[in-house]
Amino acid sequence: MDFEFTKEQLMFKQEVIRFAKKEIVPRVQEFDLKEEFDFQSFRKMGEFGLLGLHFPEEYGGEGADVVTTVLAGEALGEAGVDGGLTLAYGAHTFLCADTLFRNGTEKQRKKYIPKLASGEWIGCMGLSEPDAGSDVASMTTTAEKKGDTYVLNGTKMWITNGPIADVAVVYAKTNPDLQHAGISAFIVEKGTPGFKPGNPLIKMGVRTSQTSELVFSNCEIPAENLLGNEGEGFLYAMQTVEWDRSALLAPFVGSANFLLKRCADYAKGRVQFGRPIAKFQAIKHKLADIRIFAEASKNLVYRIAWCKDQGRPLNHLEAAVAKLFVGDWSLPVTNDAVTLHGGYGYTHEFDVERIFRDSRLAPIGGGTSEVQKMIISKLI
């Protein structure tokens, strides 16, 4: 396994960092405080080519490999882009658009992928429900076939981009008796009668991402909006795990590098008891822990990306380890960053406060740490 990036990949990473620092980062604090989605930054990401990076050029993409795509996510985090925007980007590109691209018909691809790749449309995925998170098979949303339509009824919850999405990939049971095998996936567009997103939730962190429920009340959609075949929905949802454990974790890797630089600079400049606090062993240990987290996370995440590029089937144990490690260990690391800054770290003026809040989602979203441990122990 070769962990060396190509010259072109390293140059691309620097281009993304420069782009993000110029076009996105200056607006981060403003939108985090307002708890608003930054449409302008999102559209600029589309113009730059990030939203459709791994899709073929014929659909508006760049045809990039998985490692390069993950590298872009790391670059966004390293530039200082907030976790809300990177989360919205991940849900849009990998959970919605990629699922459409992988499993859609050519007609569906041509209709949706170019709009999603450019940022003209925003996408989301409706899988979790109020009483069905990690236990996907217990979902109660149904899709009943009636002639040339499907009628959807049910509620989805914790949906990133839910209030602002133009199109959603929605999972529902077409045969409730079959558990996982009875789940199917559907394409639902904004404005469809019977489909209504809820109001944005007020969250602790990732506050620029808009999260809500999706409500379906006798929502009729054309039968041609079925994605793939009936009963294949659970398989499609599991496909997203490969992205969730690589591209969606990548901004955390980049954010750790951003955090390390901020903490090191502060520690060298902050003088107490006649010398920079960077000279104290306790501070040195905190900086070392951040670096350890960044290096370990990077290796775990890029291993999954590399295997995906090689066409290897996802190793669920390695994927669960990556998700668990990045999720759980981001908390003490970001907590130490706040502590290192003292009282300043508790104020919004310093980025460490926002990063600390954003990191709290990591052990929860995309599969809790408890579920990852269950997977790991079962596979052992």
What tens digit of pLDDT does each residue of 32-64 get?
999 999 999 999 999 999 999 999 999 999 999
Instruction: Compute the average pLDDT of residues 207-211.
Output: 97
Cα torsion for 60, 63, 68, 74, to the nearest 10°? 10
With a cut of 90, say whether residue 135 has pLDDT above it.
no
DSSP for 31-64, please give it: HHHHT---HHHHHHHHHHT-TTTTS-GGGT----
Q: How confident is the model at residue 1 (pLDDT cuts 50, 70, 90)?
A: low
Higher pLDDT, 300 or 246: 300
| Count of Cβ atoms closer than 10 Å to residue 13 Cβ | 19
CA distance linking residue 151 with residue 142, whole number of Å: 8
**Can you give the pLDDT at residue 240?**
87
**Can you give the pLDDT at residue 366?**
87
Kindly report the backbone phi and psi dihedral angles of residue 358, in degrees, each rounded to the nearest multiple of 5, phi listed first: -65, -35
Higher pLDDT, 311 or 205: 205
CA distances from 249 to 22, 181, 311, 320 (A): 23, 28, 20, 12
Kindly report the backbone phi and psi dihedral angles of residue 123, in degrees, each rounded to the nearest multiple of 5, phi listed first: -115, 160
Could you tell me if residue 191 is left (phi over 0), alpha (psi between -120 and 50 degrees) or otherwise beta? left
Label the pairing between strands 167-173 and 123-126.
parallel
Q: What is the reported pTM?
A: 0.95
CA distances from 43 to 117, 118, 244, 336 (A): 10, 7, 22, 34
Tokens of 364: 């929860």
**Can you give the pLDDT at residue 54?**
96
Q: Please say whether the beta carbons of 82 and 24 come within 8 A.
A: no
Tell me the pLDDT tens digit for each residue of 70-126: 999 999 999 999 999 999 999 999 999 999 999 999 999 999 999 999 999 999 999
Q: What is the residue-averaged pLDDT of the chain?
A: 95
Higher pLDDT, 240 or 8: 8
